[in-house]
Chains A and B, each alone.
Chain A
Amino acid sequence: MLVYSVRRLLLAIPVLLGISVITFILMNVVPGDPVLNMLGKRADPVVVEKVRAQLGLNDPLYVQFFRFVANAARGDLGESYRFRQPVTRLILTSFPVTVKVSISAMLVAIAIGLTVGIVSAVKQYSVIDHGSMILALSGISAPIFWVALVAQYVFGLRLGILPISGYATWKEMVLPALVLGSRFAASIARLTRSSLLEVIRQDYVRTARAKGLAERVVIFKHALKNALIPVITVVGLQIGGLLTGSILTETIFGIPGLGRLAVTALNNRDFPLLQGTVLFTAFVYIMSNLAVDLSYAYVDPRIRLR
């Protein structure tokens, strides 16, 4: 397992390099001068030229790229043009906020998704099953900004029981977690239901029932553990997605996470910040995928990593 983990980590290096190259090329192909964007329309041409030289933007592209890679290898992702702060500091400030939101959303999603999925599978074709699957379908289909707006209006403005925006207190976290989590809850519910239905028709489950075990024990002790493998895969991948920042949710609720940081960087042609956030996002994604792969072996001993 250790060898496998190390190998996967080493494989991440060429992937990150590749992503750096693509991001770097894209940023330089997209029109828009970062210095003019930073200095504004009244900037003195002499000042523009000086700032460009200070930032090293007059150097050939390959020089700029290798400088970036060399600095990144030392953990220095440069300084943000807009915030005039080290990119690493900005990322490390916004990432914990994203983690907080993601974990809250995922806990909501798992709690609702698993419960609904299990109940639907056990009560297949019942009113509960049909009702929850319709709700799940709506959860997947409804645009997140619309769900957020409705939730803010109803719970925040009309009923006044929850804050409309913010992230600092647990009360402020409820709406973002519910809104972001509802979409994932829907897909977890559908997946849990189908996976559990498949498992409970298998022979070993029938044997368990034949032994006279209680239905509760059959479902929770025998069927659910195996039914959860595909669910874990999906949850793992979704956590990877969530940890890289949910742009819409963070924007609507005013949460200063990684997604919002990336959008600010893009809008302001803040190249170092954009490159830093993309690279960090890729790294988090690779790490979360690795964690999912490793967790298979733990959940299902039949799977052995070589």
Chain B
Amino acid sequence: MRIRHPLLAVVVLSLAVVLVAVGCARKVQEPAREPVILHDWFTDDPGTLDVQQDTTLAVYGLARELFNTLVRYKGETLELEPELLESMPTISADGKVYTFKLKQGILCHDGKTELTSKDVKFTFERMLDPNGKGLSTWLYEPILGAKDMVEGKAAELKGFKIINDYEFEITLEKPYAPFLHNLAVPSASIYPAELCKAAGEEWGRKPVGTGPFKLKEYTPSTSIVLEKNPYYFEKGLPYLDGIEYRIVPDEATGLMEFEKGTFDVTSIPTNEFERITKSGQYTILESTPLNTYYFVFNMKEKPYTDVRVRKAIAMAIDKQKIIDSILGGRATVAKAFVTPGIPGAYPAGQGPAYDYNPAEAKKILEEAGLKKIKAVTWQRGGTQVADTNIAIQAMLKEIGIDLEVQIIDRAAFGEARAQGKVPANYGNWWADIPDPDNYLYTYFHPSQSRYMSTNYDNPRVTALLDEARITTDPARRAQLYQEAEKIIVGDDAAIVPLFHKKDYLAVQKNVKGIIMHPTGVNSYKMVQKEPAPK
């Protein structure tokens, strides 16, 4: 187009200049958006971000932000859904062969490396490598050839077959119903093979994953800073620009920083619970994680070798009183060892555990002619006897059992427990996966019971647990596990389930979307943070 009139040309030119100037001015005036960072804190430096080498909840939480697993839990439920997979895997009729298909185009934090079947195989084999330091070999142990790898008899995982870049097949040694749950544990996060190999020993400090956040800076004993992964495969996520975890070893200091507003989220120390929750200044999140607090016996240690003593102890403990007086009501009475809500567990409020009945407990001991019973229990660490142990001690005194509580250093306790030498203890179990197998097999199958110092060995229970492992029908599995638990907790009174503790987080009111999962692993992928009120 040509402009013939010179005046018109001047007007058009002037208009153009004004428009450009206004545009530029707008661009300059537009305030730069402040990055939205969530501030959290740990009491201890994890030491490594390699989730194959650390199984603490802190590292599990970090792994959920940095990496992905093949399958994951849907929101706060126990239902599995695909994460890195296109769809849930298909399972052969005999329950042994699983066929997986990865999503295509999943990029790592470097924006170049695409995740393929080779990376999945590498991740599994890295965990099982006997020269490596993979801690959670149990995740992959049901796979054909996994044991051979752990024992150094094979260099490759026999049960893992790569079909193509995105498809692979896993064959189990024998059917193992909870297998897919194993793949949702953060320790089963998938690592990019080439990047991991290139990082070598530095991987724990400089990991590269596919997760919603990538590592920006790790200052040992000081802080871990993550930033948004621009290549994340779930479009639009995460909402935050980053997360900063500070390491503050002192709980009181951490809580003060939260109250000052430096931190956005905190767990609540028991002695501060009332004050923080009733202040009305924060959002309080509550969850019922998969845990059971218990008093467990060593079946080889006197006087616990006598089932009548165990039953009497089970009836002498007033669980509700412990919950009300020590835990401020922040727990529910346990009627079974397997936490309610887990598929196959007894429903909440039902189960084979004995009710509080001190009169019956006394009667059992009298009828057995047992008098002046002396018993010992160990406490794992601490500088003074825990309140719950004091309460149990006092309750047992009522029925004529003199319980001595011995405080044993944590490391020494761990060593003795693995050797089957802890006489009895008040402890807890936080499930790795929502399956009764994770509780009952670990504590009461003779192949494992020594390591938990129960030394339990009942052939009927062993047969039930073995059968349940290979049974794929959920109804039948539930039946088997409930029968097993009836024998363990009821007939044999090998363990006294006490309570299921609730979990709480205090969160600043401008923060929303934290996922508190029952496995205890929280996720910040969906978190949104509004500017704090001035």
Interchain CA distance A128-B249 in the complex, whole Å: 39
Q: Please state if B451 and A41 are interface contacts (CB–CB under 8 Å).
A: yes
Interchain CA distance A197-B45 in the complex, whole Å: 50
Nearest A residue (CB) for B130: A50
Which one of B47, B135, B246, B252 lies within 8 Å of A82 (CB-CB)?
Answer: B47
Q: Please state if A156 and B256 are interface contacts (CB–CB under 8 Å).
A: yes
- Flag whether A126 is at the interface (Cβ < 8 A): no
A40 contact set on B, CB distance < 8 A = 55, 135
Interchain CA distance A271-B201 in the complex, whole Å: 20
Interface set, chain B 216-266, CB cutoff 8 A to A: 220-222, 246-250, 252-253, 256-257, 259-260, 262
A267 contact set on B, CB distance < 8 A = 410
Q: Please state if B414 and A165 are interface contacts (CB–CB under 8 Å).
A: no
Write the A121-164 contact mask toward B (1 if CB under 8 angstroms, else 0).
00000000000000000000000000001001100110010001
- Flag whether B53 is at the interface (Cβ < 8 A): yes
B139 to chain A, nearest CB (A): 10
Q: Please state if B414 and A164 are interface contacts (CB–CB under 8 Å).
A: no
Among B53, B131, B220, B432, the most chain A Cβ lie within 10 Å of the Cβ of B220
A164 contact set on B, CB distance < 8 A = 253, 256-257, 260, 262
Number of interface residues of A (CB under 8 A): 44
- Flag whether A47 is at the interface (Cβ < 8 A): yes
A47 contact set on B, CB distance < 8 A = 130, 134-135, 137, 150
Which one of A37, A80, A149, A160 lies within 8 Å of B414 (CB-CB)?
Answer: A37
Which one of A31, A157, A160, A261 lies within 8 Å of B412 (CB-CB)?
Answer: A31
- Flag whether A46 is at the interface (Cβ < 8 A): yes
A41 contact set on B, CB distance < 8 A = 414, 417-418, 451-452
- Flag whether A119 is at the interface (Cβ < 8 A): no
| A252 and B137 in contact, given A32-B412, A32-B414, A84-B47 (Cβ under 8 angstroms) | no
B107 to chain A, nearest CB (A): 28
Which one of A43, A253, A256 lies within 8 Å of B220 (CB-CB)?
Answer: A256
Nearest B residue (CB) for A261: B221
Q: Please state if B418 and A83 are interface contacts (CB–CB under 8 Å).
A: no
- Flag whether B48 is at the interface (Cβ < 8 A): yes
Q: Please state if B260 and A156 are interface contacts (CB–CB under 8 Å).
A: yes
B131 contact set on A, CB distance < 8 A = 50, 54
Interface set, chain A 165-214, CB cutoff 8 A to B: 165, 168
Which one of A32, A157, A168 lies within 8 Å of B256 (CB-CB)?
Answer: A157
Q: Please state if B250 and A254 are interface contacts (CB–CB under 8 Å).
A: yes
| A94 and B136 in contact, given A40-B55, A44-B150 (Cβ under 8 angstroms) | no
| A83 and B133 in contact, given A33-B415, A42-B138 (Cβ under 8 angstroms) | no
B19 to chain A, nearest CB (A): 46
Write the A33-68 contact mask toward B (1 if CB under 8 angstroms, else 0).
110110111111011001100100000000000000
Nearest A residue (CB) for B417: A41
Nearest A residue (CB) for B53: A84
Q: Please state if B221 and A31 are interface contacts (CB–CB under 8 Å).
A: no
- Flag whether B175 is at the interface (Cβ < 8 A): no
Interchain CA distance A261-B221 in the complex, whole Å: 9
B418 contact set on A, CB distance < 8 A = 33, 36, 41
B400 contact set on A, CB distance < 8 A = none
Interchain CA distance A164-B204 in the complex, whole Å: 30
A44 contact set on B, CB distance < 8 A = 137-138, 141, 150
Q: Please state if A39 and B135 are interface contacts (CB–CB under 8 Å).
A: yes
- Flag whether B8 is at the interface (Cβ < 8 A): no
A156 contact set on B, CB distance < 8 A = 256, 260
Interface set, chain B 180-233, CB cutoff 8 A to A: 201, 204, 220-222
- Flag whether B355 is at the interface (Cβ < 8 A): no
Q: Please state if B252 and A42 are interface contacts (CB–CB under 8 Å).
A: no
A-B contacts at CB below 8 angstroms, number: 122
- Flag whether B475 is at the interface (Cβ < 8 A): no
A50 to chain B, nearest CB (A): 5
A94 to chain B, nearest CB (A): 7
Interchain CA distance A164-B248 in the complex, whole Å: 11
- Flag whether A251 is at the interface (Cβ < 8 A): yes
A46 contact set on B, CB distance < 8 A = 130, 150-151
B442 contact set on A, CB distance < 8 A = 42
- Flag whether B93 is at the interface (Cβ < 8 A): no
Write the A71-99 contact mask toward B (1 if CB under 8 angstroms, else 0).
00000000010111000001001100000
A43 contact set on B, CB distance < 8 A = 135
A146 to chain B, nearest CB (A): 11
| A269 and B411 in contact, given A84-B48, A254-B248 (Cβ under 8 angstroms) | yes
- Flag whether A5 is at the interface (Cβ < 8 A): no
Write the B499-510 contact mask toward A (1 if CB under 8 angstroms, else 0).
000000000000
- Flag whether B409 is at the interface (Cβ < 8 A): yes
Interchain CA distance A276-B136 in the complex, whole Å: 29
Which one of B44, B247, B260, B415 lies within 8 Å of A32 (CB-CB)?
Answer: B415
Which one of B53, B257, B411 lies within 8 Å of A33 (CB-CB)?
Answer: B411
Interchain CA distance A93-B256 in the complex, whole Å: 27
Interchain CA distance A51-B137 in the complex, whole Å: 14
A37 contact set on B, CB distance < 8 A = 410-411, 414-415
Write the B109-143 contact mask toward A (1 if CB under 8 angstroms, else 0).
00000000000000000000011011111100100
Nearest A residue (CB) for B147: A46
Nearest B residue (CB) for A250: B249
Interchain CA distance A275-B310 in the complex, whole Å: 44
Q: Please state if B250 and A252 are interface contacts (CB–CB under 8 Å).
A: yes
Which one of B137, B152, B220, B432 lies within 8 Å of A83 (CB-CB)?
Answer: B220
Which one of A39, A54, A160, A165 lies within 8 Å of B248 (CB-CB)?
Answer: A165
B257 contact set on A, CB distance < 8 A = 164-165
A161 to chain B, nearest CB (A): 12
A256 to chain B, nearest CB (A): 3
Q: Please state if A256 and B256 are interface contacts (CB–CB under 8 Å).
A: no
Write the A258-275 contact mask toward B (1 if CB under 8 angstroms, else 0).
001100100101000000
Interface set, chain A 224-280, CB cutoff 8 A to B: 251-254, 256, 260-261, 264, 267, 269
Nearest A residue (CB) for B54: A40
A30 to chain B, nearest CB (A): 8
Interchain CA distance A32-B381 in the complex, whole Å: 12
Interchain CA distance A83-B44 in the complex, whole Å: 12
Which one of A34, A51, A90, A264 lies within 8 Å of B133 (CB-CB)?
Answer: A51
Q: 9 closest Cβ contacts across the A-B interface?
A: A32-B411, A256-B221, A31-B412, A33-B415, A254-B248, A83-B47, A82-B47, A32-B412, A252-B250
* Partner-B contacts on A (CB < 8 A): 30-34, 36-37, 39-44, 46-47, 50-51, 54, 80, 82-84, 90, 93-94, 149, 152-153, 156-157, 160, 164-165, 168, 251-254, 256, 260-261, 264, 267, 269
* Partner-A contacts on B (CB < 8 A): 44-45, 47-48, 53, 55, 130-131, 133-138, 141, 150-152, 201, 204, 220-222, 246-250, 252-253, 256-257, 259-260, 262, 409-412, 414-418, 432, 442, 451-452
Can you list 21 residue pairs at the A/B interface with Cβ under 8 Å?
A32-B410, A34-B411, A37-B415, A39-B135, A41-B414, A41-B417, A42-B55, A42-B135, A42-B432, A47-B130, A50-B130, A51-B133, A83-B45, A164-B257, A165-B246, A251-B249, A254-B248, A256-B221, A256-B247, A264-B44, A269-B411
**Seed contacts A32-B412, A44-B137, A253-B250; 13 additional CB < 8 Å A-B pairs:** A32-B410, A40-B135, A41-B414, A44-B138, A83-B47, A93-B220, A157-B256, A157-B260, A165-B248, A252-B249, A254-B222, A254-B248, A254-B249
